[in-house]
């Protein structure tokens, strides 16, 4: 379904009938959503590092990316992108106008990153971006922050460009992942996560 005058398909919007029926189901579904976003952000950082090392973004970035990254650097970059991706999902579902249970679901996912990923606490990550307004600015800010977490120094601005582009263009994926997390049987969610490991 497309909106009139817009070539982009409308994003999936959550409705109240998708609210999990029990606290156990709620937990299973947000755990899946968090894990799937973490895997996607891990892949993004890994593929970005490989592209930087291949020289696809210039010699200066290639030199910055040839070193080994610590678990702390890598984990912090992944976690920042994961937390911001979850927050973008909140905004894309209407922000304050989204169903309260959905906001609770997405913020539970945000808190779950503290158990599933290395790096600063999710609250600290979100506080770094709290005065950034608008999706585009949030994507740019998070991409630069992730590259700084990787220790790319002055090359962070250049390195952030493909990551920012990914975050900006990834709203359909975030919406589809949310749809999958809320509509598929819990067993299917567990199987999907197992297939990613």
- Structural element, H or E, at residue 73: helix 71-92
**What digits encode the pLDDT tens for the residues 18-55?**
999 999 999 999 999 999 999 999 999 999 999 999 99
Helix (H, G, I), strand (E, B) or coil at 184: coil
Separation CA 125–CA 55 (nearest Å):
30
> Tens digit of pLDDT for each residue in 51-103?
999 999 988 899 889 999 999 999 999 999 999 999 999 999 998 899 999 99
At residue 197, does pLDDT exceed 80? Answer: no
Whether 34 contacts 113, CB under 8 Å: yes
Q: Is the pTM of this model over 0.75?
A: yes
Report the pLDDT averaged over residues 150-179.
Answer: 93
Angle between the 171-183 and 23-53 helix axes, to the nearest 10 degrees? 150
pLDDT at 190: 94
Q: Which pLDDT tens digit goes with each residue over 116-148? A: 998 899 999 998 887 788 899 999 999 999 999
Q: Residue 121 — φ and ψ, nearest 5°?
A: -65, 150
| Mean pLDDT for the stretch of residues 176-181 | 96
Please, are residues 87 and 126 in contact by the beta-carbon 8 Å criterion?
yes
Average pLDDT score, the chain? 91
Q: How would you class 130 by CB atoms within 10 Å of its CB: exposed for 0-12, middle for 13-18, buried for 19 or more?
A: exposed
DSSP per position, 5-50: T-SSBPPP---GGGS-SSHHHHHHHHHHHHHHHHHHHHHHHHHHHH
Closest CA to 174 of 92, 77, 96: 92
């Amino acid at each position: 379904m497309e909106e009139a005058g817009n070539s982009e398909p409308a994003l999936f919007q959550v409705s109240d009938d998708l609210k999990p029926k029990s606290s156990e189901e709620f937990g299973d579904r947000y755990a899946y959503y968090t894990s799937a976003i973490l895997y996607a952000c891990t892949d993004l950082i890994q593929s970005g590092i490989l592209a930087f090392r291949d020289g696809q973004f210039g010699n200066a970035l290639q030199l910055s990316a040839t070193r080994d990254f610590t678990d702390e650097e890598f984990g912090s970059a992944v976690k920042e992108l994961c937390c911001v991706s979850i927050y973008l999902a909140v905004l894309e579902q209407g922000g304050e106008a989204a169903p309260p249970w959905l906001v609770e679901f997405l913020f539970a996912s945000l808190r779950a990153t503290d158990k599933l990923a290395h790096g600063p606490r999710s609250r600290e990550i979100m506080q770094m971006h709290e005065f950034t307004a608008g999706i585009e600015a949030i994507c740019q800010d998070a991409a630069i922050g992730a590259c700084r977490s990787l220790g790319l120094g002055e090359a962070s601005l250049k390195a952030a460009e493909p990551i920012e582009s990914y975050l900006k263009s990834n709203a359909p994926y975030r919406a589809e992942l949310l749809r999958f997390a809320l509509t598929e049987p819990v067993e299917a969610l567990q199987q999907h996560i197992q297939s990613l490991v």
